[in-house]
């Protein structure tokens, strides 16, 4: 079974860094607790607003230890998930 969240968390929006991180942390915990496969988000940068108008951008890999995640749960990329869905739906 797959666990994926393609909702507001998958759309990069400024000033929502903590919300985006919290959503993905919940998805990681949910997938691990239920034995589902975690589908990683597409490759985009999460904006974090520093003091003033400057932004620092982080990728999913910067924030979460993917090497450790794959040791304890099934993890696939968005591309793998979409390929699987195309074959399944046909």
Give tens-digit pLDDT for 24-74. Answer: 889 889 998 999 999 988 877 777 766 667 777 878 778 778 888 888 899
Mean pLDDT of 73-77: 90
Pair 37, 75: CB distance under 8 Å? yes
Give 78's strand partners: none
Q: What is the pLDDT of residue 36?
A: 92
**Widest CA span in the chain:** 50
Q: What is the pLDDT of residue 51?
A: 65
DSSP code per residue over the chain: -EE---SGGGS--TT-HHHHHHHHHHHHHHHHHHTPEEEPPPS-PEEEE-STT-EEEE-HHHHS-HHHHHHHS-EE-HHHHHHHHHHHH-
pLDDT reading at 7 higher than 50:
no
pLDDT bucket at 4, cuts 50 / 70 / 90: very low
Q: What is the pLDDT of residue 52?
A: 65
Pair 12, 46: CB distance under 8 Å? yes
């Amino acid at each position: 079974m797959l666990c994926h969240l393609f909702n507001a968390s998958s759309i990069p929006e400024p000033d929502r860094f903590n919300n985006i991180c919290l959503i993905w942390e919940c998805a990681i915990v949910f997938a691990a607790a239920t034995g589902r496969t975690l589908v990683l988000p597409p490759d985009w940068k999460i904006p974090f607003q520093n003091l003033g108008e400057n932004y620092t951008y982080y990728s999913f890999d910067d924030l979460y230890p993917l090497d450790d995640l794959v040791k304890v749960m099934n993890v696939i990329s968005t591309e793998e998930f979409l390929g699987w869905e195309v074959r399944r739906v046909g």
